[in-house]
Amino acid sequence: MRFGIFGDIHSNLEALEAVLEDMQAQAVTHTVCIGDIVGYNANPRECLEIVRALGCPIVKGNHDEEASEAREVEHFNDMALSAIRYTRTQLTKEQREFLRALPLQRPVNAFTVVHSTLDQPNRWGYVFSCLEAESSFQYQKTTLCFFGHTHVPHVFIRDSKVHEFFYKKIDIQPEKKYFINVGSVGQPRDGDWRAAYVIYDSGANSIELRRLPYDLAKAQAKIMNAGLPARLAERLANAV
Ligand code: ZN
């Protein structure tokens, strides 16, 4: 099976379309979404409908959670907050209920998916260091766990200790454990503006990071037309 594992789409329709087209060209057989379908960019409704239509396993991200609740938003910066307010006006009640009901983590075949961490998935902690990955590994029962949230494609590997590196391709050794960040479709933060996702080939036991250019100018124009902060449009180009 060839799994296309993607997330942190953040309402970027142009980036999502580029990724789905690449998955077809790459003969992906199954899709899995690691959350944050909405937030930041201009097309939450469209992105959510496209991802739902895939019928794939999905876990909830923190932006999906905030967009689906009626409560005051906490722990979000001004940019993220304006986008969540906009997102709430764009989604239907039924779409918000769909997001609210998503699980925080789940098994898919022989691997696990989560948006943030396995130790406290409801606290939305960021895994940037080996120490942070170590806490998550204590709860990881499968060889592979895919996650997102930081928008930086990166892998943590546990054997006798925890190592980390930036990857393009990983050959899986079943005696180790891997906590793999699949990067972000719609708002990369690793200095590369192109949409990111991974292909996990369970037959070949390998993981490949894919990067796709998309119509950046169109996505940026939509952000401006929607009255969202200009910095959100700039950020797509700077990828930080
Ligand atoms: Zn995100």
Tens of pLDDT along 3-12?
999 999 999 9
Residue 42 has pLDDT above 90, yes or no: yes
**Cα gap 124→127, rounded to integer Å:** 10
Q: Are 39 and 66 in contact (CB under 8 A)?
A: yes
Q: How far is the CA of 19 from the centre of ligand 1 (A)?
A: 16
Query: Rounded mean pLDDT of 11-24?
Result: 98
The residue with tokens 């100018």 is 217
Q: How far is the CA of 137 from the centre of ligand 1 (A)?
A: 21
Considering the entire predicted model, what is its pTM? Answer: 0.97
Give the CA distances from residue 83 to residues 18, 76, 141, in Å, rounded to whole numbers and listed in that order. 23, 10, 36
* Residues β-bridged to residue 3: 30, 200
Amino acid 233: pLDDT: 97
Classified as helix, coil or strand, 82 is helix
Tens of pLDDT along 85-100?
999 999 999 999 999 9
**Of 103, 115, 181, nearest in space to 144 by CA:** 181
Report the number of distinct structural domains present in the chain: 1
Q: How far is the CA of 41 from the centre of ligand 1 (A)?
A: 11
User: Above pLDDT 70, what percent of the chain?
Assistant: 100
- Cβ neighbour number for residue 44 with a 10 Å cutoff: 30
Label residue 70 by pLDDT band (50, 70, 90): confident
Query: Rounded mean pLDDT of 67-73?
Result: 88
- The CATH number of residue 41's host domain is 3.60.21.10
| Rama region for 124: left / alpha / beta (φ>0; ψ in -120 to 50; rest) | left
Q: How far is the CA of 116 from the centre of ligand 1 (A)?
A: 9
Amino acid 28: pLDDT: 98
Q: How far is the CA of 175 from the centre of ligand 1 (A)?
A: 30
Q: How far is the CA of 171 from the centre of ligand 1 (A)?
A: 26
Amino acid 109: pLDDT: 94
| Rama region for 153: left / alpha / beta (φ>0; ψ in -120 to 50; rest) | beta
Q: How far is the CA of 157 from the centre of ligand 1 (A)?
A: 22
Residue 186 has pLDDT above 90, yes or no: yes
Amino acid 100: pLDDT: 97
Q: How far is the CA of 160 from the centre of ligand 1 (A)?
A: 31
Query: In terms of residue numbers, what domain contains 106?
Result: 2-238
User: Above pLDDT 90, what percent of the chain?
Assistant: 95
Indicate the average pLDDT of the chain.
97
Apex 136 CA angle, 111 and 125, nearest 5: 115
Q: How far is the CA of 115 from the centre of ligand 1 (A)?
A: 8
- 31 Cβ contact list (under 8 Å, min separation 6): 3, 4, 5, 6, 23, 54, 56
Q: How far is the CA of 164 from the centre of ligand 1 (A)?
A: 21
Evaluate the CA torsion angle 11, 178, 145, 84 in order and state its sign: negative
Phi, psi of 69 (to 5 degrees): -100, 160
Residue 71 has pLDDT above 90, yes or no: no
